[in-house]
Each structure stands twice: as C-alpha cells, then as structure tokens.
Amino acid sequence: MRTRAGSGVVLLAAALLAPGCKRHGCLGGDDGICQPPTACPVPAEPVCGAPTESLRIGVVDRTSWTAARSPGPKSLGAVGDFVLENDLVRAVIDAPEHAQGLAPSGGTILDLAPRVTDAAHASAGDQLNGILQGVGLLPRDAARYHSAEMVHGEPGFVALVLRGYLDGNNHVSVVTRYELRACESGLRVRTELYNGTRETHTFWLLDGLFYGDRGLLPFAPLPGQGFVHPKLDLLELPKVWRHWPFIAARPQAPPFASYAIVPCSPGVGQGFGDSTFSASGVELAPTTPGDGLAFDRFILVAGGEGVAPAVGAALRARQRFFGEPAPVTVSGRVVAGEDRAPFDSRGGRAASILFYEPAPGADPDAEAGRRPWSEVVPGADGTFTAALPAGKALRAQPHAFGRPAGKAVALSTAGGRATIDLGDVVVERPARLLITVEEAAGKKTDFAEIVMIPVAEPARGAKTPSMYGLFGGCDPMLGPAHGGSPACNRALVADGVVDLLVPPGRFFVYATRGPFATIAREEVTIEPGMERALTLRSALLPLLPPGVLAGDFHVHSGASFDSSLPQIDRVVSLLATGIDVIAATDHDVVTDYGAALDALMVRDRLRIMPGAELTPNTLWFKVPGETFPKTLGHFNFWPLRHDPFLPRGGAPFDENLEPGRMMDAMDGAWAVAAEGRVRQMNHPWAASKLGRDEGFLRVLKYDPRQPIEAGRSFAADVILRRPGAGHRNLDFDTQEVMTGASRRDFIRYRALWFSFLNQGLLKAGVANSDSHTLMVERVGYPRTLVFADQDGKSFDAVSFNAALKAGRAIGTNGPVVDARIVDGAAVYRPGLAAAAIGRDADVVVTVAAAPWIPVSEVRFVVNGKVVRTVLVRLGAGDDPFGRDQAAELKVPLVELVAGVAGDAWLVVEAGLALPLSADLDNDGLADTLDNNGDGKIDAADVPPDPDDEDVRFPDPRRPPAGDARFHLEAIAPGIWPAAFTNPFVLDLDDGGWKAPGLR
Amino acid sequence: MNARARVGVAALVALSPALAWAQPCAPAAVASGPLALGPGPADFGEVAEPCAANQAVARLRGILLVDTPDFYGAISAGVTLGGRYRIRERWWVSGALDMPTWRYTVNAVVASTALDAGPATVAVHRALVTRESFAVAAHVRALVPVDTARRFGLRTGAELGASAIYRPGVRWFADGGLTAPTALVVLGGRTHVSVVPAALAEMGFALRSWLALSLGAALRTEVHPSPALLALAARPALRVRTGGGWRFALGADVRLVGVDRTAAAVSLFVGRGD
C-alpha cells in the first residue's frame, strides 16, 4: 500500500510537471524515445525553394557507397554509416560501432563536404578528420554512442539522433541530434546531457575538432590571433582559453573546404584553438546532480579557397540566428605592378588578403593587436569577394609569398551598405620561373623536385616569410608548408617542367632526384615581374647493387589525420626521389593510392603495399610513477587488404590496446601469407605529442643497459607480455633505427637496436622517412635498401618482405654501404640468420655516395661497440655537382672480433662522424651535445629547460657555403649522412649462435 | 589516549562544576540532538533533533571531494540558514535554506565555479516519547525546489524520519535516528526517483556544562535506483553553549567507506534560542 501511494505521488508529480518540460528533449536523461529539439531555432525558419528530393538521409550500403563519398582522401564513410545531404552539403556520421580517431565510438561527424554541383566548387571536398562530442579533455569524457535513429522530418529537414553515455560514466547520458535542413550549408547540432551521478561536475559540453596537425588551419576572429593561436599546454588551459562568435578553419591543400562552428544559445562559444586539437563548447559551470545541459551550434562547410567562404557563411548564420546585421560583401581585384595586370593568386600560394580590425596604438597593422576577421584568396583573374562583419572599421592587407605585398587598405563596413567595392588592390609583381629538369642534354626527366633557398642566410632573428604567422622558416614561401606542391620552398616536377611564381630575391635553385642522383644548382637574382627559364640537369647514379629496391615503409599522405598532402603529390614526390616501393602507412586507415597511380600511369614504377600505422590516441596505459596514463607507441603493418567499404579502409580499431593485441587485431586484415607480413615498431624513442606517446620503448622507460627478462623491470615485463591470446608485445619483425632526418633520434634508436641485438632479440633494422608533407620529413630520407633480388618490374611483395624481415637490408639517408664477408669461397651479406664464419674471413665494404653527400668514415660495430673506424673521403666538396664516388676497403674479421670470446654480431656503418654526445640523465641514451664547445659534455651544456631537446641535442643547421654538407642541408634539412647494414650474425665457434648479452 | 591526555581529561572533569541538567531535552543542555553534518542539500536527509525548541541557526559548511586517480575534485562552501519553532507542546516546525553556496569543480584541467542559492527544506516534527532520560520524535520534511544552481527542471522530495536522545546522567548522552528521504528530479518529461535512507548513532560527553564532545557514525545508503552503500562516515563534533542562549558547534562528517566520493564535510554552527 505504501509503495502504491509512493508511486502515485511520483506519477502525479510527473504528470503535472512533464508537459512543461517536453521541449527539453533528453535533458532529463535518455529514455530511448526522447529527441532533442532543433538546434538554433529561429522564430521563422526560412522558406527554401530547393527541390525536396535533394534532402535525404540514409544508411550507406555498397550500392550507395560511391555516391556517399565526397572527394578527398579524408572522406572515410563506410558501409553502415549514415549520410545526410541536401543540394549544398553532404555529411557522413559514422555508425556507433565505427569508432574513429579520438572518439570511443561512432556518432561523430566523419565527413562534411560541399556538394560538387558546379564548376565553381569543382575542387571542393572533405577535409575533416572528425568532430566528436565530449565534456572534457580526458578519454573518459568523450561521448560513447550506442544507437542511432534516423528522423525524416516534415517539412524540410532530416535528422539523426545518436544516443549514448560518457565513455567513463554511464550515469551521464548524452544524446546528440544532427539535423540538416534544405538550403542550409551545414548541420544544426544539439547535444543534451543528463547528470545522473550523485556529484556536481564541470561538464564542458564541447565539439572536439581533431585537426591532427598539418591539416586544417584553425582560425579565430580574436585580437592578436586569426590563424595564430597561443601554444596549447593542456596543463595550463586558462592561458589559452578564449571566447568567440565563431571559429573557422581552412585547408592547406585541395580539396578545398572551409569550416565554421557558430555557437547558439548563447551566441558565444569558448575553448581553445590549436592545429592538433581545437575545442569549442559551452560556458563552464558546475552541473549539479539531476540537472541537464544542452549545447546548440551550427557546423557549416563552404567550398572555395581560404577561410573567407566559411567566415561569410558563419556571419550569415549569426544574422539568421541572432538577428545580427547582415554581413557586408566586399569585392575587388588584386592586380600586380604599376600597369595593374590582374594577378592569378594560384590558389592563395601567390597572393591572398587578410581583413582585420586595426590594432590599437600607432601601428594599426601590428600582428599582436589586430583582429583578423577573414582571409580571401583571389581567383585566377585576381577578383575576390568576401563577407565581412557590418559596422567595423577594417583594413585589407594583401600578402604574397608569406609577406605583406602592398599597402593595407582601410575600409569601413559601417553605414548600412550591403556591398563595398575595394577596387584594385595593388601588390608587387612576382617573377616567374619556368624550370626544366633534364636527365641528359635535351632529354627531359619526368619526376624531380625543385628546392629554393636564399643565397644569403637570413640573419638570426630576422623575420622570415610566414603564412600570417604560421610556418616561419620557409624562405621563399611558395605555398602553405603542409599543402601540395609548391609547398614551403619546394616544388615537384612532373613531365620535366614546373612553372613557378616566385618572389623577388637572390636564390639558389636546386634540382634533385633523390640521394642516388646528381644535383644541379643555379643562382638566380629575381626581379619583380621578370620571367626566366632555367634548365637544370640531374642524372641517376648507379649506386645500388643489383637486385636492390629502395623502400620507404613509413609514409603518410592526406588520408592520415596529420597530413593534408594530396595523394598525387605524394606519389610524385616518391618518384622524384627514387623510391621503388613503399608501405602506405597512413594513421589508422588503409590506403592504396590507386587513383593517383592510375592518373600518373606509374603502377609499374612505384609499388604500393597498402598498410596502416596504428596510432592510439586515447590515454589509457598506466606506467608506474607517472601521473597521467599513456598511449603505447606507433606500429606499422603491411601489406593489408584495402577495403574502402569498411571503416578505416579495413584497419582495425586500435585504441586501448597493447602492441601484442594490435597484432592480434590485425590478423584478419592481412593481404598475404604469413611470410610476407610485416609488423614494425616505429620511432621507439619518439617524444609524446599533446600527451600522446609515440615511442613504445620511451613510454616504458626502457633502459638499453637492462636485460629484457621477466621481473627485471616494468619495461621488460611489458615488452615480454602477451596481452591477448596471440602475440607478445615483442613480436614485431622490424624496428626503425632511422626515422626522418633527426641525428639525435638515430643515435638513440641505434642504441636501442643494439641492445636488442645483444640480447638475441634479432629484429631487422629499417630506415624510414615518416614523411607527412613535402616540406617536413622529406620522403625517402632515409630509406631502406632491400636485397630482394627483384628489379621492380615483377615485384613480389611476399618475397620482398621476407627479405626485409630477414635483415637483408641497408638503412641510409644518402650513403650506400654494401658489406660482405668473404670466407674462402663463400660470400655472406648481412642478415638475421646466423652463419658459421671463420675468424680468418675478410670483411669487404663498398661505400658509394652521390658527390653532394659527404662520407668521412666507415664504422665497424661489434656487439654494440665501435671497434674500428676507417676514414674515407667521399663528397668532400671537390665537385658536388659531379658524378658518383665510391671507396672499397677490406678488413680482416679477426681484427674486428679480437676481443670477443664467444659469438658476435657485426654492423657496418658509413657516413659522417657522429657528434660527441653523452647521457647526462643516466637513462642509457645520449641526451646532450657539447653545446658550449668547451670540449666536454657536462651540466654547462644543458639548457635552462632541460626537456628542450632541440637545444640540448640540436639538429645541424645550415652550414657555411663551402661546407661539404651545404647542398645536402639545402635539399634535405637536418640530414647527417649515415648508413647502416643489418647485422652479420656471426657464429664464430660453429656451435650455434649465442647472443653476447648486455655488458 | 596517552597518560598525559587521560590526566588532562580527568582534571577537566574534576574541575567542572556540577551539571544541573539531566532531562533529555533540557534547554540548558549543551547538546540537544544530532547536528546536520552531512553533505546533502540544506538539511535534507539529516537526522533531526528530537527536542522541541525555538532556535535560529546558521551553518557554515565546507565540502571536499578529491579523487586524484580520476582527476576529479569538487569543493563547495556555503551558509545554511535554519531554525526550529515550537508551535504546540509536542509539535514544532523547522526549515533550512542553503544560501549562498559556492561551488568549484574540476575535471582534470577544466574547472568551473558558481555561486548559487537553494534549495530549502521545511519540516514538521512531533515528540512521540518524552521520558526522564530519553526522548523520541518523528518528522516529515520536504525539499523545496528553489535552487538557482539548476538549469532545467526541478528537484524536490520528501523525507520521513525519527530521532532520539538518551541522557542517562549529567555527562553522557547518546543520540541518533533514522531518516528515509526520497528525492524527485523532474526534467524533460522524465522523473528520477532516488531513495537514500540514512542512520545515525553518536555518543557524547559533556566536559563542562557549556562544553561537550561527541563522536558518532552515519550510514547513508541508496536503495533506489541503484542499491549501494553511499557512505559510512565518522562524525566528530564539539559543542559549546554560552550565556544568552548562544550555541556553537564544530563538526565533521568524514567518509570511511562507500561509493560516495565526498571525503569530508566540515560545519560550523552558530545558533541562538531556548
């Protein structure tokens, strides 16, 4: 009776109070049928004349998959995902079971692109990695959706309702409604949360914008900002916290789509902007137990270059949602020189205009005080149109090649005018270089790369070109640093010719075809308006032994969340540097470059093995003594089946997995039999980035002086562990000994590899570029030369990979070191299989290098120690533009193993002498150079911030003009010539090889 | 307690003047029942005092929650105004209002603060048993849904409870009780009911006629929607009564075990009345 009475009270209360709360949708929790109302409602929704059949929602199946994909490598919609589209935009929301990127489940905005319906937007496409919802910055704060429901609304909208909880607390329900209306260029999104916990929480209900780095450039219309944002330190969040009327982002490369988020109710968003991860959410306030929270916003996309299309759409959205004044349309034309010739901005690479409110004080153009509102990229005829906020005093500053290119023009959008014609905006006339690259006289090569550097090194502290403050150091800046060619100071050559607009100045212009080819260089003084044709010659050199293929097994392009390089540019860059075969290892997605290979008709010249770099992003792994949880490094896998119908192209979801379980998860994704499958530990000592740990051994604090034996250390236990049913964390086949240009990394990774070899953990050492762009981490520097007994014409991935795993390979960033052991009639090459070799054998080494790559010594490493260094002199500056050079030397094996009692392994290295370095923090790895030049490495060499490795262990800088490394530094900055063989595993006593152990 | 402390307590007791009050609800008693030391809103869910009185009370309360492994923390501080008013010989009413309450919650590096007022409670009490050495009373209390911290909907509730005090002599006393609050959250067309019964038992000792110490244990549970032991908490308190009807108390509710992550609530009371 008492229970019935209690229930009656509850029902009565509910009946009385519920009707008034209906509009709150799921604010009171998710009962499985509630629906959040429309986001950003306006009293009178605009009437739309678009055909109703263009508005639709559906589930992607194999039949509709092609139609659901937008152009661009970041378009990742898979079968089972949801598509919402009208005549303006197409959005793909991934199915709840299709987790991607940072999100623990689907339900995120995976793709959002303008519909390509006319020529004006022919180059539009998807540039989003993903937009997820959360309430904070920890993994447990992300929304985990479990179900989705399609809503066919009448009249004029479709919607998708996602239901779920916070990943770390199922007492907090989260329901998100994505709604697309006819004639709207974005999604109205409303997220409702119910705090079913017993505690008061700070729920920062937010959109997490996973830009990933090197992709979309976030833009905030705030004083001193625009494209520049305060450096994000997650532990110092208040320092970067901002409030904004909208935030936007623009791409660096095609396909061109810019994005904006307009917050509704209230019309001010807050959060932080960062090129890796931005977040925009609600006002911070405690949410008491039993209370709800709602977040309304309009997430839009606009086609076209620059950020102006998105800014204009955002301003129009604010006009509609908040009744703000209509934006003012400003138009004009960019012209060059006194004759005012229309200026082709070449997609913003050559010219653009930044609009901003003037800075207070004497200098209205001061970057620290001005308030950027938009950036417009003129078209091929120089004309431009941009929507700007009304009622503002503004300035328009033309830019070209990363510098202000003319006087800023003042304008006012006050006074009620709807349009303003700025007339002609005059910029300095650029020059034009028409560069032809030849293989031999009169014979054009097909693929090559052009690099330009200033003849005179800019003075320290001098202001170099930048893209509104980004990418300083590109001189000249021919295009956005992470975009397609030309990017930064580099341009790709296809069909032997490239046509470049360049700024005035004195430059060296290089033509290169990779480290196994000659280089050509021309010094040019470029005057405004001049046109000049250059012919540069670069010839391939026969440096590689027969049957050797050059591979790069760590390569990224636009499908990776941290790259925006078009795939066709990636393929050209590979061919331009002489790579024969790659593992396509985009982050967490399998790609095959098929369209790019077909477009260039180079399937017989470049072999692509589809693969993936599994890249955990959510912090979960607890390391003793560490406050924050970790991710467990990056691992590559190839060759994999590329199945575009599957989420992530067929790559398994990799979050919260130890490496062994990643390997287990990969078991269903391989494209070939076991002998041809490769599992690779990448950059084992890479630093963390925004808390995400990229180096497996660094996370574990592995000390290379300590044995990997059970119970000996936390690191050893984890390395040996079998976290799932199948593989141990140790069961990778190859490990990177060189990754990218960093000399510091090479010295450390090499020490880690040597430690493994000494313990009998024989993994093939490889050298990969980990290239994400044209400008940073040059593809093919370094690379792995595989003795595959193949010529590339009849490529067989299984035998190729088997040779690689067996250690029949050399890693190099320039020199070619071919080492053999001649034991009577038998000749041995490096490999992980032990060979019974007599001590009276000879080690014969041939070192070859292009003449612009200096080599000064050959090092013989036995059981981890350099036991002999032989000086050689290659590429010492005699004729850097000449042909190849080689040296051969022979050393008796007995001299190398003189101090070895048992068995041994031998690695041969060649290159420049490694810098003197020391391990001052006693972690077993070098961390400091002789930075003050006093001849010893001690505390005086440690910078004030001891964690600043770029100061503590700096990369080499541009050397003087006469230095033998000058040209290499120009073409591949930071490279310190080095090559290494895989080990000879020497069974010296013919009793079976025994690892020498750590000493 | 070491020897020196024992000597000190004995000296205090020996030197204290004769205690003239012994009845359970004597107005002169330094303690007249449980203190509202818990972390709940206003005095909702607190075992009530079993004695009728006319009294006004202000409580200054701080609540601390720190869960380092989860990177979560919450601090609140607030003033609760309340009082009791005798309306008939065996009947009295009481009320309490949180006003204002400052909250700070941090989720890893994301933090927020707010200053709010509410909620409030009103209650009706009836003395059931009054004997020479003990008294028993019952109460019905309502949670009044005035709370500026809420964005949407409302939270209300009702509570039925009983409390008792036992005073066998002039120095020792014991009090405690049971309460069964039921809270309703009505929001977005949904109603969430929670039933979180609690029990309290504590013993006290009057060192002087104006000074008493007590130590007890509070048990808070949830029977709906998710049965759980919310907290078993220790409740030390010090009470002082001065001339002019002024009363002061300092006490804490310190969680020992339970799923409620609130570590402690510390309260300072200032009251005046019979």
Q: Are A78 and A98 in contact (CB under 8 A)?
A: yes
Q: Inter-chain contact B112–A136, Cβ cutoff 8 Å?
A: no
Q: Inter-chain contact B187–A21, Cβ cutoff 8 Å?
A: yes
Chain B hits for A18, CB-CB cut-off 8 Å, are 186, 189-191
Using alpha carbons only, give the angle A618, A620, A622 rounded to the nearest 5 degrees: 145
**φ and ψ of A804, to 5 deg:** -60, -50
Q: Inter-chain contact A26–B188, Cβ cutoff 8 Å?
A: yes
Beta strands in A462-504 (DSSP E): 490-493, 497-502
Chain A hits for B186, CB-CB cut-off 8 Å, are 13-14, 17-18, 21, 28
Interface test with B, best of A30, A198, A236, A626 (most B CBs within 10 A): A198
Nearest alpha carbon to residue A739 among A752, A721, A729: A752
Q: Inter-chain contact A286–B114, Cβ cutoff 8 Å?
A: yes
Interface test with A, best of B140, B152, B154, B192 (most A CBs within 10 A): B152
Please give, rounded to a whole number of angstroms, the shortest distance from the CA of A137 to a CA of chain B: 8
Residue B260, chain A, CB below 8 Å: the answer is: yes
Residue A265 to residue A435: CA distance in whole angstroms = 55
Q: Kindly identify which residue of chain B lies nearest to residue A205, measuring between CA atoms.
A: B110
Q: Which B-chain residues 157-196 have CB contacts (< 8 A) with chain A?
A: 158, 182-193
Cα B12 to chain centroid, rounded:
28
Q: Inter-chain contact A201–B105, Cβ cutoff 8 Å?
A: yes
Please give, rounded to a whole number of angstroms, the shortest distance from the CA of B133 to a CA of chain A: 33
pLDDT over threshold 60, residue B11: no
**Cis peptide preceding A342, ω within 30 of 0:** no
Per-residue burial over A238-254, b = 16 or more CB atoms within 10 Å of its CB, e = otherwise: eebebebbbbbbbbbbb
Chain B hits for A31, CB-CB cut-off 8 Å, are 190
Residues in chain A, pLDDT under 70: 1-24, 46, 50, 117-121, 877, 884
Q: Inter-chain contact B188–A137, Cβ cutoff 8 Å?
A: no
Q: Inter-chain contact B153–A24, Cβ cutoff 8 Å?
A: yes
Q: Kindly identify which residue of chain A lies nearest to residue B39, measuring between CA atoms.
A: A199
Chain A hits for B154, CB-CB cut-off 8 Å, are 17
Residue A333 to residue A386: CA distance in whole angstroms = 12
Residue B203 to residue A484: CA distance in whole angstroms = 78
Residue B108, chain A, CB below 8 Å: the answer is: yes
> Nearest CB to A25: which of B74, B114, B188?
B188
Using alpha carbons only, give the angle B192, B193, B199 rounded to the nearest 5 degrees: 145
Q: Are B165 and B173 in contact (CB under 8 A)?
A: yes
> Nearest CB to B106: which of A192, A202, A287?
A202
Chain A hits for B110, CB-CB cut-off 8 Å, are 136-137, 202, 204, 237, 284
Q: Inter-chain contact B186–A28, Cβ cutoff 8 Å?
A: yes
Residue B223, chain A, CB below 8 Å: the answer is: no
For residue B4, the model assigns a pLDDT of 62
Q: How many residue pairs from chains A and B have C-beta atoms closer than 8 A?
A: 139
> Nearest CB to A14: which of B76, B149, B186?
B186
Chain A hits for B155, CB-CB cut-off 8 Å, are 290
SS3 at position A735: strand
Burial of A6 (0-12, 13-18, 19+ CB in 10 A): middle
Q: Kindly identify which residue of chain A lies nearest to residue B195, measuring between CA atoms.
A: A6
Nearest alpha carbon to residue B176 among B12, B19, B34, B24: B34
pLDDT over threshold 70, residue B10: no
Q: Inter-chain contact B108–A292, Cβ cutoff 8 Å?
A: no
Residue A520 to residue B185: CA distance in whole angstroms = 77
Please give, rounded to a whole number of angstroms, the shortest distance from the CA of B224 to a CA of chain A: 12
Cα A240 to chain centroid, rounded:
23
Tokens of B254: 């310190």
Please give, rounded to a whole number of angstroms, the shortest distance from the CA of A718 to a CA of chain B: 22
Q: Are A394 and A355 in contact (CB under 8 A)?
A: yes
> Nearest CB to A28: which of B65, B112, B190?
B190
Residue B152, chain A, CB below 8 Å: the answer is: yes
For residue A880, the model assigns a pLDDT of 82
> Nearest CB to B149: which of A136, A192, A286?
A286
Tokens of A51: 């055909």
Q: Which B-chain residues 225-254 have CB contacts (< 8 A) with chain A?
A: 230
Q: Are B84 and B52 in contact (CB under 8 A)?
A: yes
> Nearest CB to A290: which of B107, B185, B230?
B185
Q: What is the pLDDT of residues A652-697, one digit of tens each?
A: 999 999 999 999 999 999 999 999 999 999 999 999 988 889 999 9
- Count helices and strands in chain B by DSSP H and E runs: 1, 14
Interface test with B, best of A26, A280, A291 (most B CBs within 10 A): A291
What single-letter DSSP state applies at residue A668? G
For residue A45, the model assigns a pLDDT of 72
Chain A hits for B260, CB-CB cut-off 8 Å, are 198
Residue B145, chain A, CB below 8 Å: the answer is: no
Please give, rounded to a whole number of angstroms, the shortest distance from the CA of B154 to a CA of chain A: 8
Tell me the residue length of chain A: 999
> Nearest CB to B191: which of A13, A237, A292?
A13
Q: Inter-chain contact A17–B74, Cβ cutoff 8 Å?
A: no
Q: Inter-chain contact A194–B182, Cβ cutoff 8 Å?
A: no
Sheet holding A490-493, edge to edge: A490-493, A448-454, A505-512, A520-526
Q: Inter-chain contact B187–A292, Cβ cutoff 8 Å?
A: yes
Q: Return all residues near A739 (Cβ < 8 A) that are at least 6 apart.
A: A554, A682, A683, A686, A745, A749, A767, A768, A769, A770
Q: Return all residues near A99 (Cβ < 8 A) that are at least 6 apart.
A: A105, A106, A647, A653, A655
**Cis peptide preceding A155, ω within 30 of 0:** yes
Residue B221, chain A, CB below 8 Å: the answer is: no
Q: What is the DSSP string of B137-180?
A: EEEEEEEE---TT-SSSEEEEEEEEEEEEE-SSSSEEEEEEEEE
Q: Residue B249 pairs with which residues in a beta bridge?
A: B239, B269
Q: Are A702 and A754 in contact (CB under 8 A)?
A: no
**φ and ψ of A572, to 5 deg:** -60, -40
> Nearest CB to B188: which of A138, A235, A292?
A292
Q: Kindly identify which residue of chain B lies nearest to residue A7, measuring between CA atoms.
A: B193
Q: Return all residues near A890 (Cβ < 8 A) that are at least 6 apart.
A: A842, A843, A844, A845
Please give, rounded to a whole number of angstroms, the shortest distance from the CA of A635 to a CA of chain B: 28
Q: Are A545 and A553 in contact (CB under 8 A)?
A: no
Cα A987 to chain centroid, rounded:
43
For residue A746, the model assigns a pLDDT of 98
Please give, rounded to a whole number of angstroms, the shortest distance from the CA of B219 to a CA of chain A: 16
Q: What is the pLDDT of residues B56-100, one digit of tens each?
A: 999 999 999 999 989 999 999 999 999 999 999 999 999 999 999
Chain B hits for A24, CB-CB cut-off 8 Å, are 152-153, 187-189
Nearest alpha carbon to residue B214 among B242, B241, B162, B249: B249
Q: Inter-chain contact B188–A14, Cβ cutoff 8 Å?
A: no
